[in-house]
Structure 1
Amino acid sequence: MKKKIIIIFFILIIFVNTGVYAEPDISLFGKDVNIEDSENPEDYVVGFEILLVLTILTLAPAILIMMSSFTRIIIVLSFIRNALGTQQTPPNQVLIGLALFLTFFVMAPIGADINENALQPYLEEEIGQAEAIDNAMVPIREFMYKQTRDKDLALFVDIADVEEEIVNMEDIPTKALIPAFIISELKTAFQISFIIFIPFLIIDMVVASTLMSMGMMMLPPVMISLPFKILLFIMVDGWNLIIRSLINGFS
């Protein structure tokens, strides 16, 4: 480790002494690249816009998860797998992929609204960046507001210490709406998962009681109940019912 540090130290000394950092002309892939200050302020504005776009792309997964229907869908799908007791079937990749496509399906009208009223006018330079962001937040805020409970919203409005009187949705600050929406989605997802768990729990109890009465205490009840739970799920067309209920819950 010490030898590596010494080697890196000597390399830095060689670079400094040779004046690499002071040269404005750099050869890159056989081409001379000239580095100099720009006299046009618009060049810096474009650079900041590119930086902003890259930042948004970096935060896109968090935005997708926290401000869309993804949270509720993935939690319900995970609880279904646990209720069936199928371990890693379906695998995580399948559940996440299904949740993503269902999220795209649910959020498609909102995406179309954002594209029509925010993105396209901004690309055509009809509106500024700030106005485009405000226009894009309108349909997202409406979606979150419809799915948020008043109790959760009041909690974060009180914590945020909003001094202005809230009369309608436009008066609610986004910093309070987003966390209120998240905990509302968590509660809704757990409520749906609890209802789904009940029939599978009954099957486990019946199978365990039957095995106990027959004196087969060494036989794991899960091995016997798993085929019956899968059969029940197939007979009622479980995936169709659950997906239909999830999508209708956002309408």
Structure 2
Amino acid sequence: MAAPLPFGRLDGRRAFVSGGARGIGAAIVRSFAGARARVVIADLDLAAASELAGEVGALAAKLDVSDATAVQAVVAQHGPFDILVNNAGVDQHAFFTDTTAEDWTKLLAVNLLSVLACTHAALPAMQAVRFGRIINITSEAARLGSKGGSVYSAAKGGVIAFTKSIARENARYGITANAIAPGPIRTPMLEQAVAKGGDRILRAMTDATLLGRLGEPEEVASAALFLASDQAAYITGETLGVSGGMGLGG
């Protein structure tokens, strides 16, 4: 086995980050670029992705992750990749009986099917070189449930199960697959939820954590950098909560 890179370094490794233009994705991009990775930011918002790419020395690619054909094309154009971060996500805060089949299709396409599509596109090249790091951003909602987020929770639960299966299938290739389950993180998605539900929603989120505060995107990015690094080479099939102790009780 080759000597591991120094702690916190990804020298020259190619990383693909979906939904990387803002929020947790942008923090991961900055973290990986700072660790000397060569990062491709894939996002539907090409302007925001390009601005970030110019800031950190990355590449930007416009991508609708719900389009599996487009995913294959972008990965083929910019790959192969050593590190895949499936971060793109979308939520809709509504009770299940107030949602429609069209809502389910969108939520499952972005939060679950995109993970399948990006992984399917990136895996063969990883298998060929017998190395890879797959990091899937799920949610504590997958493990605890979420009032007003039933379909989102179901999709993110699927991500955890998929991660474990990919870890089992690909260990023989030297590929690890892990998930990160953030709790309430200060992101545009959370801000939308707070704008809709008000201070009551914000208090409920912070009260559900042991630390009594929101997390920052950079705290999730630190976990992603660790799982992408050589220091995490013996970790696979795991789900790491970055949630301030959410769900453990007071």
TM-score, with length taken from structure 1:
0.24
TM-score, with length taken from structure 2:
0.24
Higher strand proportion: 2
Higher helix proportion: 1
